[in-house]
Amino acid sequence: MANSASDARHIYNQIDRAHREFTPEQIEFVSNIVRLYRGEAVETVYDSDLLKEHFPEGQYVDVAGLCCIATIDKIKEQGWSLNPGRYVGVAEKEEEDFDFAERLEELNEELEILNSEARGLEERIAENVVKLLES
């Protein structure tokens, strides 16, 4: 027996830090993933490109970072965890066109500045603690 794992953590609109909202199109897309998995006809009201993009043949397939068929044995191997990330994996990222050495140098310079600021803050905190203790 197999179960479908679906990870909708990246299909939503972020309202604020704690709240996410799914549009009707996004809800329809996730629902249609389940329908494809079950071999049922999809229902489209919103004509979203998401379904065509991820399932161009109109058939269910595992999609990295989105959905995967997980067998009971596979779930057992994962300690009975139902965390979707354990099964769907991570979506492939498009290759970025940048100079790694140049970017690493920029990040290192930024780190040096932040470390310098941190040392300054440590000194100020230490001075304030001494003043508090002398009071």
73 shares its domain with 120: no
Q: What is the mean pLDDT of the chain?
A: 85
What residue has token string 């329809």? 28
77 shares its domain with 16: yes
> Are the beta carbons of 34 and 54 closer than 8 angstroms?
no
Beta-sheet pairing, 13-16 with 19-21? antiparallel
What pLDDT, in 10s, does the model give residues 31-49?
Answer: 999 999 999 999 989 877 8
Q: What counts of helices (H) and strands (E) characterise the chain?
A: 5, 4
Query: Is the model's pLDDT at 80 over the cut of 60?
Result: yes
pLDDT of residue 122: 95
Residue by residue, DSSP assigns 27-74 as HHHHHHHHHHHHTPPP--SS--HHHHHH-TTSS---BTTTEEEEEHHH
Average pLDDT over residues 70-84: 90
34 shares its domain with 69: yes
- Nearest Cα to Cα of residue 9 among 89, 94, 96: 89
Our count of domains for the chain comes to 2
61 shares its domain with 80: yes
What pLDDT, in 10s, does the model give residues 1-36?
Answer: 455 555 555 677 778 878 888 889 889 999 999 999
- Nearest Cα to Cα of residue 88 among 1, 7, 3, 2: 7
pLDDT of residue 5: 53
16 shares its domain with 73: yes
111 shares its domain with 135: yes
pLDDT of residue 94: 58
Q: Give the pTM.
A: 0.57
77 shares its domain with 31: yes
68 shares its domain with 10: yes
81 shares its domain with 107: no
Average pLDDT over residues 118-135: 92
36 shares its domain with 74: yes
24 shares its domain with 81: yes
pLDDT of residue 49: 85
Average pLDDT over residues 87-116: 80
